[in-house]
Amino acid sequence: AELLARQEQRESNARTYPRNLPIAIAEGTGSFVRDVDGNVFIDFLTGAGVLSLGHNHPELVEVVARQASVLVHGLDFPTPVKDAFIDAQLSMLPPTLRDEMKIHFCGPTGANGVEAALKLAKVVTGRSEVISFQGGFHGSTHAAMSVTGLVSPKAPVGNRMPGVHFFPYCSAAHCAEGLTPDSCLSDCAGFLERSLRDPNGGIPLPAAVILELVQGEGGVVPARKEFVQRVRELTRELGILMIVDEVQTGCGRTGTWFAFEQYEIEPDVVVASKALSGIGLPISLIFYNRALDQWKPGAHIGTFRGNQLAFATGAEAVRIVRRDDVLANVRDRGEQVAERLAPLKNQAWVRDVRGLGLMWGVELADPATGKPATALGKAVQRIALRNGLILELGGRHDGVVRMLPPLNVTAEVLDTACDIFLDAVDTALK
Ligand code: PMP
């Protein structure tokens, strides 16, 4: 309480997590954190989806210590550890892309990667319009926020990057709102196609389409596969770059290294960040087809693009993911969540339970009005916290309670967490 009060006095009012999760964290190990009072929690927020191998994975800690005594900051010079990181990252791409893709290091955060991707698309195409989707989240810097399809973070800022056009995002979760899957697909994809093909339709040919394949902050909303594939065909035909924002879905979160593999598409640009280092060190990058490498020297730079600690742990994290078959664990544990949370579907206030791999959301809505049950979501989060489980909220009105467990979480810990989750929903509804 003392640290929270001191924080309120001295830090920005924009802080978010401790408002709903009023704890001060002392240490983390694997799937657990301990607060300064000694209480232990299962951490299914994992640094906003960053800690793919949990807190302080011992092998990664060792790598940090070793690398810290060798080299910490390397600007964009080549270094052996960066070279190993690039090898590891390219090796995780599908075989058809491994030799086709180049990497650009963008700065420490996901938003830096999004900025670079948008700029690259403008440089390559010589165009400036961008298509994005309702409900998407891409970051808090100016352009990344401008392509974010959630109004509340943008509204207070006034003018944003011009030339961004939002289209409806097609997902099974949205089809439930009175549309059939077929009509939803033809509505969403058809509307986009007609708008892009109409030479006088008000939208000049864009440089890029940017999207998440599973909207994370938007409430764990997976895009319909057919929709994504139609977007891919259309963008390819019209010479528009398809940027896939895998900042949250990437590095194994959905059960494949990148979610685009499950959608069976090859994007032109992939943005990755959060879990790249495996242990929470800041790093972001974009992968893009080498034909797109049309930057002029100095066209997109930044001081913090050479975090040698993140390169070292990132390469080691890939080795661990392979050695321990972490992606199989993501898929198995994902099925476990699906089974354990299935009974929630019988609750009148639960509108949907959905997820992919280890990215899960329970959407709560008032059965009488259909409106997002924001207060109920907060109550579930608060009760779960009291009982030792840290959960995240999301969705347009925070009506979705989210779980982002470490990708190497054990079946036992996941079971305990599901018990706490189910009990929290029950208790909140009483
Ligand atoms: N894109 C997506 C899909 C994200 O989920 C996030 C962060 N939640 C970002 C971009 C922005 O990343 P950062 O906060 O590191 O700038």
Q: Tell me what pLDDT residue 177 has.
A: 61
Cβ(276)–Cβ(285) under 8 Å?
Answer: yes
The pLDDT averaged over each successive group of 10 residues in the chain (430 residues) is: 96 92 98 98 97 98 98 97 98 96 96 98 97 96 94 80 94 73 85 91 93 97 96 98 98 98 98 98 97 94 96 98 98 98 96 97 96 96 98 93 98 98 97
Q: Which atom of ligand 1 is nearest to the CA of 249?
A: 3
Distance between CA atoms of 199 and 7, rounded to whole angstroms?
54
Q: Which atom of ligand 1 is nearest to the CA of 217?
A: 5
Distance between CA atoms of 229 and 201, rounded to whole angstroms?
23
Distance between CA atoms of 320 and 69, rounded to whole angstroms?
22
Ligand 1 pocket (Cβ < 6 Å) reads: 48, 109-111, 114, 137-139, 212, 216-217, 245, 247-248, 273
Nearest CA, atom 11, ligand 1: 139
Closest CA to 51 of 352, 371, 399, 326: 326
Cβ(391)–Cβ(33) under 8 Å?
Answer: no
Q: Is the dihedral of CA 162, 163, 167, 173 positive or negative?
A: negative
Asked if the structure places residue 389 within a domain, the reply is no
Q: How far is the CA of 46 from the centre of ligand 1 (A)?
A: 14
Distance between CA atoms of 105 and 82, rounded to whole angstroms?
11
Asked if the structure places residue 388 within a domain, the reply is no
Q: What is the ipTM of this complex?
A: 0.99
Distance between CA atoms of 116 and 125, rounded to whole angstroms?
14
Distance between CA atoms of 170 and 187, rounded to whole angstroms?
9
Beta strands 392-394 and 350-356 are unpaired
Asked if the structure places residue 352 within a domain, the reply is no
Closest CA to 394 of 7, 10, 49, 50: 49
Asked if the structure places residue 134 within a domain, the reply is yes
Asked if the structure places residue 406 within a domain, the reply is no
**In Å, how far are 81, 327, 338, 364 from 87, measured between CA atoms?**
10, 19, 35, 43
Opening angle at CA 278, ends 408 and 209, nearest 5 = 105
Q: Tell me what pLDDT residue 182 has.
A: 79
Q: How far is the CA of 384 from the centre of ligand 1 (A)?
A: 25
Q: How far is the CA of 367 from the centre of ligand 1 (A)?
A: 31
CA atoms lying within 13 Å on the CB side of residue 34: 9
Q: Which atom of ligand 1 is nearest to the CA of 215?
A: 3
Q: Is the dihedral of CA 17, 21, 24, 27 positive or negative?
A: negative
Q: Tell me what pLDDT residue 116 has.
A: 98
Closest CA to 104 of 302, 251, 236, 361: 302
| Number of domains, the chain | 1
Closest CA to 211 of 290, 149, 278: 149
Distance between CA atoms of 55 and 137, rounded to whole angstroms?
25
Q: How far is the CA of 247 from the centre of ligand 1 (A)?
A: 6
Q: Tell me what pLDDT residue 223 has.
A: 96
Q: Which of 112, 246, 274 to mutate to test the pocket of ligand 1 (most atoms within 8 A of CB)?
A: 274
Q: Tell me what pLDDT residue 176 has.
A: 56
Nearest CA, atom 7, ligand 1: 139
Asked if the structure places residue 40 within a domain, the reply is no
Radius of gyration of the chain (CA): 21
Asked if the structure places residue 348 within a domain, the reply is no
* Residues 330-344: b if buried by 16+ CB within 10 A, e if exposed: bbebbebbeebbeeb
Instruction: Identify the CATH number of the domain in which residue 123 sits.
Output: 3.40.640.10
Asked if the structure places residue 380 within a domain, the reply is no
The residues pairing with 392 across neighbouring beta strands, listed in sequence order, are 402
3-state SS record for the chain: CHHHHHHHHHCCCCCCHHHHCCCCEEEEEECEEEECCCCEEEECCHHHHCCCCCECCHHHHHHHHHHHCCCCECCCCCCHHHHHHHHHHHHCCCHHHHCCEEEEEEECCHHHHHHHHHHHHHHHHCCCCEEEECCCCCCCCHHHHHCCCCCCCCHHHCCCCCCEEEECCCCHHHHCCCCCHHHHHHHHHHHHHHHHHCCCCCCCCCCEEEECCEECCCCCEECCHHHHHHHHHHHHHHCCEEEEECCCCCCCCCCCCCHHHCCCCCCCEEEECCCCCCCCCCCEEEEEEHHHCCCCCCCCCCCCCCEHHHHHHHHHHHHHHHHCCHHHHHHHHHHHHHHHHHHHHHCCCEEEEEEECCEEEEEEECCCCCCECHHHHHHHHHHHHHCCEECEEECCCCCEEEECCCCCCCHHHHHHHHHHHHHHHHHHHC
**Structural domain that includes position 216:** 62-323
pTM above the 0.90 mark? yes
